[in-house]
Amino acid sequence: MVSEKPKKQRAGDSGFVASLVFYILAFPVGLALFVAAFATNLLSADEVLFYRGLKLLVLAAVVQFGVTLLLRWGLNRRRARPAITIHHQIAAIALAVAVNLSFLVVVPVTLDRSVSVFLLGVMNAHSDETFTAQRLETVFDDVYVRKYGAMQRRIDEQVVTGNIAASGDGFKITPAGQRFIQVSTWIANLFHLNTRFVAPDLASSRGG
């Protein structure tokens, strides 16, 4: 006759199942809340998409905490010893925040400002035509830079972030902007990246 598992071991197995169920239910909540916040156009007045995304990220995490608190209570209410603790909640929320942040940077922010996506969009709109590099450069300058106000948009973003400030009839970099470039240069050197964007060569530029 096979003996029954000790009570403590059965309780441990039951606690593991409860924890697994909690994570399976709690983690997607954070993802769904973040996507829903974007889908409903919440905080759409914010001009900088990345900062709007960070605000929605925090909002989704706060709401997720409330939802998972109820979920935690539901899974623990018939147990003499709670299987789901605040640590499980924090872990589930932290995982959702990490995934949401990665998604924000890789997908929405890229689609919002990527030159490569613009290039593909132009070619897709005229899929039966052949584009030379010169023609694409012309379209880029006429549409992306001038028609869509790419430079003005980035100036506005940097003013909002405090990296540049109005000075006379133009703009000057602020100490915060200089610190950003210093940190960016250090990171670029650390990862052996090309520094042409943090230390551009303006010798051939009419604005240099």
Q: Which helix (H) or strand (E) covers residue 171, if one does?
A: strand 170-173
Question: Helix or strand or coil: residue 57?
Answer: helix
Three-class DSSP labels, 109-151: HHHHHCHHHHHHHHHHHCCCCCCCHHHHHHHHHHHHHHHCCHH
Contact 97, 61 (CB under 8 A): yes
Domain ranges of the chain: 7-113, 115-172
Contact 37, 96 (CB under 8 A): no
Band (124; pLDDT cuts 50, 70, 90): very high
Angle at CA of residue 185, ends 182 and 189, nearest 5° = 140
Provide the pLDDT for residue 47: 78
pTM to 2 decimal places: 0.79
Per-chain mean pLDDT for the chain: 90
Provide the pLDDT for residue 202: 85
Q: What is the pLDDT of residues 2-57, one digit of tens each?
A: 455 555 555 455 678 888 999 999 999 999 999 999 999 999 888 789 999 999 99
